[in-house]
Amino acid sequence: GMLRQASAISSATPVVTGLHDRALSEDIAPEKMQLHDVPVDIVCTPTRALRVERPLPKPTGIYWHALPRHFLQSSAPLRVVKAKIEQGLGLRLAPPLPP
């Protein structure tokens, strides 16, 4: 979310993850994805690399309304990004949820 928010990456930037072969699932239902989950394009295990055929849409930025307060309090980069966005928009973003 932060890199996308800062225009450092785009929806075309590949998202790669690594996991054990036993943790690999051939199909994860889109309805099981939560807001904070990031769809991946490539999965690497110790024995193989797989390209995901039907990737889901990637986040377009930071979901401020779903960000727990303690995340914002403990992350200086998040606070800086939020302040810059608010200054540029001239308004306050949704307050973080309580922890």
pLDDT tens for each residue of 7-57: 888 888 999 999 998 988 777 777 888 887 888 899 999 999 999 887 688
pTM over the 0.75 mark? no
26 DSSP assignment: S
Bridge partners, residue 50, by sequence = 43
Instruction: Find out whether 46 and 21 touch, Cβ atoms under 8 Å.
Output: yes
Query: Which ranges constitute the DSSP H helices of 1-75?
Result: 2-5, 69-74
Phi, then psi, of 43 in degrees rounded to 5: -115, 125
pLDDT tens for each residue of 58-96: 888 888 888 888 888 899 988 888 888 888 888 888 766
